[in-house]
Amino acid sequence: MNIEGVEIPVYSVNTVVLGSGAAGLNCAVHLHMNGQEDVVVVTEDVTAGTSRNAGSDKQTYYKMSISGRKADSPYDVAETIFLGGATDGDIALVEANLSV
């Protein structure tokens, strides 16, 4: 494809997986193991991803305390997870209750 004098390669594939974190790579591997050979992983850096950099769960960023004078509220933790916009409130509440 040529856009304003710049040649841009175009690829046609069956499946595109976005991201090289644990979920993306797991998805690509399972697709391939189940017979899908036309899979592409799109990523900025194959050696990056949340799992490699910080751990693969939301609790890496906010985990309820099991010590200290003031106990954390599962509702407060769920609200923080939900405000990030990447999960539904009910799932956030389940994750918060199971955080410890």
> What pLDDT does residue 28 have?
93
pLDDT tens, position by position, 40-58? 999 888 777 665 555 555 5
> What pLDDT does residue 97 have?
75
CA distance 39 to 62: 34
pTM, 2 dp: 0.48
Sketch the domain layout of the chain as residue ranges.
1-53, 57-100
CA distance 87 to 40: 25
Backbone phi, psi, residue 49, to 5°:
95, 150
The predicted model gives 9-27 an average pLDDT of: 89
